[in-house]
Chain A
C-alpha cells in the first residue's frame, strides 16, 4: 500500500527541523531556503503549518512538463524531478496549483518533494509528530486529497 505524508499543523511548533532535514537530505547543507517542505507562520493567529507536495493524483506538474522531467516513482507514488532532464523552464512551478514546486536559481532546476524514496527525512526530524508517513488510506490524507480534488477543478 502506498504511503503518504500526513501533515498536522496543530502539532507544529515552527522549529524548522523538517526544513533542515529536507535540505540536508537533498542538498547536503542545512538550508531551509532549499527545503521541499515549508513551514508557514501564521503569526497573528499563533499557528504554524508545514506544507509540501501531496503527490496529488492529478500531477499537474508532471503533465505540464514539456520535457518529461517529472516522473512517477512506482514504488512510492512520488512525482520526482529528474534533474538531468529538467531544463528549468519553470512551467511546472506555475502549473502546480498548490505552489509546491519551486525553482532553485542556484541549480537552474526545479525542486519538489520526492518522499526521499520512501523514507522522508522530515518525518524523522519532526520532534512533535506533526509530519508522519502513513498509509494513504489514512483519513487525514484523504481529507487533504479530496480537498485538492474539489478545490481545483479538473478539466
Chain B
C-alpha cells in the first residue's frame, strides 16, 4: 500500500505516524513545501521572543524519528493530483504514486485587497521564514502595525509587544478575537491590551499602505495615519486547497469530508485546517483550523486510509486558548449560545475575570472564560461528553466557577456517593 500525505503540519505528521502503527509495511510519503523539518506554527510566537530556538518548534524532536518510522519526507510543492492515475505531481515534474492520499495542506494567510499590501515591509506571520523576518525588524523603538486581532493576530501580538516595538493593532470588527470571543470578552481583551501599552483600534479598517520616506504610511478608515517600520498582516487564513485544483474533489469552504475523513474521491482523504469536517457542536461541516482538531483528524484519517476500521468522526469541539499579554482566555463549542438555551455568567471587569457557560437543557454546549487557568479543560469534557448535569446545572447557573465540582459530581467518575451527589 502506498500512502501519500500532502502537508507536514500536525495533521499530516499525526496521520503518518498512525498509518505506520496500523500498517507496518506500507510506503508512507510525507510531502511538505517548506525546507524545515515538520514544525508547529503554534510555536512561532515563542520563537519570536527567543524562548525557544527553531528546533523547539519541531513537531518531533528526534532527528531520526521519521527515518526510524519509515516515513519518507519529500520537500516539494504539489502542483497536481491525477485521480485516474492516482499520482501526485510535484513542481519540477516528479510524480508520486498513491493508493490512498491525504490532503493535510493546512491554510494560507489571506492577503486583504488593500493598496500597498504587496509592499516590502508588509508581511504575514505564518511560516518560520516569516518569523525570521519579523524578528529582524521588531526591535525596541521600531513601529509595528498589526492588521487583524483574530486568534493568529493575538498569538503574535504578545511576541511583538515583548520585542519592545511600539505596537498598534487594527481590527475590522468591533472587538478582539471576534470569532472566538463574545463582545464582553473581546472588549475586555482590548481593554487589557490598552492597559498594557498596546494601541488597539477596533471597528477600523486599513484603507491603504504606502511608502513614505523609508517608512510605511498606514491610512485607517477612521482617518488616522500611522507610520510603521513593518506591517504584519494577520487578517485571516483560508484552507489551502490548491493541490486539488486539477481534481473534481468537492470543495466548499474547505475540502469536504465525511465522518471517515474521506473526500468525494474514495481514495482521497483530508484532515486538519484544510478539511471542512464534522463539527461536534453544530452538527455541520466546518473548517475549525485548530491544533487539537488537526490531530484528531489526522489520526482518524489514518485509520480509514489503512482500512483498519470503520472509524467514524463524532465531531470535533471547536475550542481555543489564547494568552494575550498574560491575560488567558478560552472558548469552547457553542460559546455564543443556542436558541432556547440558558446561560450563566460572572463578570468582574476591574479584575479581568469572566466566565460564561451556555447550556441546552442541562447539558453544557459552550463556554467562554477570561483569567481562568485551572481545570479549564473540563469545559471540553463536559461539552463533549454531553453529561446531563442534573442538579449541577442549577449550581452552575448560580456559580459557574464550579465546573470541576460539576464534572466530578455529575459523573461520579470517581465513585462518588451517589445518594448525596445525584
Contacts and interface: CB of A to CB of B under 8 A. Distances in A.
- Is there a direct interface between A and B, measured as CB atoms under 8 Å apart in the complex? yes
Interface of A: 7-10, 38, 40-42, 45-47, 49, 51, 60, 63-64, 66-68, 85, 87-105, 108, 140, 143-144, 147-148, 151-155
Given A66-B291, A94-B380, A147 B42 contact: no
A49 B300 contact: no
Nearest to B420: A45
Contacts of A108: 51
A100 B414 CA distance: 14
B183 to A, nearest CB: 22
9 contacts: A41-B405, A42-B409, A47-B417, A68-B60, A91-B291, A94-B377, A97-B384, A99-B381, A105-B326
Interface residues of B, number: 60
A36 B417 CA distance: 24
B292 A95 contact: yes
Given A93-B373, A94-B292, A155-B314, A49 B59 contact: no
Contacts, number: 172
B404 interface: yes
B42 A91 contact: yes
Contacts of A104: 373
B224 to A, nearest CB: 33
Nearest to B297: A155
Given A85-B56, A152-B381, A10 B319 contact: no
Contacts of A85: 56, 61
Given A40-B404, A66-B10, A9 B415 contact: yes
A79 B39 CA distance: 22
Contacts of A144: 413-415
A28 to B, nearest CB: 21
B413 A151 contact: yes
A40 B405 contact: yes
Given A42-B409, A49-B416, A68 B59 contact: yes
A89 B46 contact: yes
B411 interface: yes
B51 A155 contact: no
Contact of A63 (B295, B328, B412, B417): B295
A88 B46 contact: yes
A102 B375 contact: yes
Contacts of B381: 96-99, 151-152
